Amino acid sequence: MDFGDILNEWDRIKEERSAAKPKAPSPDPTVAKALESWLDKHGVEDKDSREGESGARPERETRRLALMKAQDVLDLHGMKAVEAKAAIAAFIDSASRRGLEKVLVIHGKGLHSEKGAVLKDATRQALEAHRLAGRFGTADKADGGSGAVWVLIKARPAAKP
């Protein structure tokens, strides 16, 4: 069996497994209504839905940013969670001041940590809390895959006169 045969067998097994997976059950309407009621009561909103004054970015702009390579990179390897959160905040502020639109944060996969992917969680928390961090997601395999995230930088609010 050569490598090509191994890959073909791998693809066949993946297809069988994905076809055999049961579909997710429909959400319980009672639970969905309770969640919606809680969200309405507490006024929680998705911070990323506020991008721009007029709402979400136009589709063309979204595609352009999706295809864009990161304009700067922050590597968190070797940092503790508290250090990483501070570094991310400073990095996002700096990226915004420099007019960058998309950056990459490398947090690692946590394979060498006793407690698992500590920096991955710290990165997500820091990005969700930062006012200038827009949408973010798992990087492409070439950029680090599950060990890194791309981040869209929001435009700084204009100074009020």
The tens digit of pLDDT for each residue in 28-85 reads 777 777 777 766 666 555 555 554 544 456 778 777 887 889 999 999 998 999 999 9
Instruction: Say which residue, 61 or 101, is predicted with more confidence.
Output: 101
Token code pair at residue 136: 């973010």
Global pTM reads 0.62
Domains of the chain (ranges, CATH numbers): 56-153 (3.30.1370.110)
pLDDT of residue 21: 60
Phi/psi-derived region of residue 118, left when phi > 0, alpha when psi is between -120 and 50, beta in every other case:
alpha
The tens digit of pLDDT for each residue in 84-100 reads 999 999 999 999 999 99
Q: What is the DSSP string of 135-151?
A: EEEEPPGGGTGGGEEEE
Query: Average pLDDT of 10-32?
Result: 72
Nearest-10 crossing angle of helices 118-129, 81-97: 40
Per-residue three-class SS string for 71-133: CCEEECCCCCHHHHHHHHHHHHHHHHHCCCCEEEEECCCCCCCCCCCHHHHHHHHHHHHCCCE
